[in-house]
Amino acid sequence: MVKNYAAFLLVFLSLLSLSGCFYIDPDYSENQYTQDTVRVAGYVPVYGTADRQDIFFTAPLRVEDPGKIYVYGKYLLVNERRKGIHVFDNADPSAPVNLGFLQMLGNTDMAIKDGLLYADHMGNLVALSVNDFETIEEKGRLSLADWNYGLPPPAGFHFECVDAAKGVVVAWKQEELLNPACYAIR
């Protein structure tokens, strides 16, 4: 009997000590928080117009956020993450000349074969004729993962779901989100 009483007392004291482990936030407000509120770092879409979707060759820009690098003949191509491709004349590798910038929103990857540049653009894989890079001609387009809203969200993050009525997604900005309903897996 003493053994059962000692076990009961030990359990009772343990439960009593746990009651002191709860903390009530003095700034808590029923209107501000609910039991189901979840705050996470994520991304919010930046909407733009259809004209920002065009692929075109512009004046040279400064390389700010380089991604993949590709060499094709005398050309050096440097990806500007999610914005496009810098094109350099690399005939003299010790002094490359910046020829211009190929605007391709959402671009992160590229490859060239037989005068065709294959690159991702606004959720699509596009094939462009790029013999001289100043005359760009789209030869084909294939939708990637059925992303029809523009630039896909960064993978591995929650994001604010896209509202197609607001336009096409041309960029993403990082913000704290409340109860996000969308998550990018790829």
What is the chain's mean pLDDT, rounded?
79
Q: Return the pLDDT at 147.
A: 56
Q: Give tens-digit pLDDT for 71-88.
A: 999 999 999 988 999 999
Q: Return the pLDDT at 37.
A: 79
Looking at per-residue confidence, does 22 or 118 come out higher?
118
Region 93-104: what's the mean pLDDT? 95
Q: Can you give the three-state secondary structure of the chain, one letter per residue?
A: CHHHHHHHHHHHHHHHHHHHHCCCCCCCCCCCCCCCCCEEEEEEEEEECHHHHCCEEECCCCCCCEEEEEEECCEEEEEECCCEEEEEECCCCCCCEEEEEEECCCCCCEEEECCEEEEEECCEEEEEECCCCCCCEEEEEEECCCCCCECCCCCCCEECCCCHHHCEEEEEEEEEEECCCEECCC
Classify domain 39-183 at the CATH topology level.
Answer: Lipocalin (2.40.128)
Categorize the per-residue pLDDT at 24 as very low, low, confident or very high, splitting at 50, 70 and 90.
very low
Domain ranges of the chain: 39-183
